[in-house]
Amino acid sequence: MEPALPPTPLAEPLRYTCHCGRIRVAIAAKPAFVNECQCSVCYKLGAIWGYFERRQVDVTTADDATLQAYIRSDENGDGDVSFNRCSHCGSLVSWTRVPGKPEDGGEKTGINCRLLEPKELEGLDRRRGTGPPRKIKKAA
């Protein structure tokens, strides 16, 4: 999780899938950079995020698969971000904001660029951000 720089629009959308092919993703822009987020969730998920406006991303799901959500609830997020993976092969596809939560930007999404071919990542600035500032949970 990191604020997005404007991605560069592409003439043709970049299309790719999860490992089993049931989740198809098309992105209309190349990310300004990719981020191997070092926060507690993303580190364990092994994600390399590209950040987009939701309108730049089209995700379609085959009839025999769904996007399964893991909704983060920890020091960095209180049910406001969903990590979405293919129900069949387990590939992590995206994070999205959970509607109606205080931080519901609505317009921002992260796409796991590990689903792209390695050559698509060539030349991109590769960062290791730490994610958003950690919220201190108050003792009950």
Q: Which residues contact Zn ion by CB under 5 A?
A: 1, 18, 20, 22, 37, 39, 42, 86, 88-89, 131
Pick 13 or 132: Cβ nearer Zn ion = 132
Pick 29 or 89: Cβ nearer Zn ion = 89
Pick 9 or 38: Cβ nearer Zn ion = 38
Q: Quick one: tokens of 65? A: 């698969």
CB 39, min distance to Zn ion, A: 3
CB 35, min distance to Zn ion, A: 8
Task: Give the CA distances from residue 121 to residues 4, 45, 66, 71, 83, in Å, rounded to whole numbers and listed in that order.
Answer: 17, 19, 26, 27, 21
CB 56, min distance to Zn ion, A: 20
Pick 1 or 92: Cβ nearer Zn ion = 1
**Left, alpha or beta for 53 (phi > 0: left; psi -120 to 50: alpha)?**
beta
CB 18, min distance to Zn ion, A: 3
Question: Tokens 């992260």 label which residue?
Answer: 110
Among residues 135, 92, 96, 129, the alpha carbon closest in space to that of 114 is found at 92
Task: Write b or e for each residue in 29-46: b if 16 or more Cβ atoms lie within 10 A of its Cβ, otherwise e.
Answer: bbbebbbbbebebbeebe
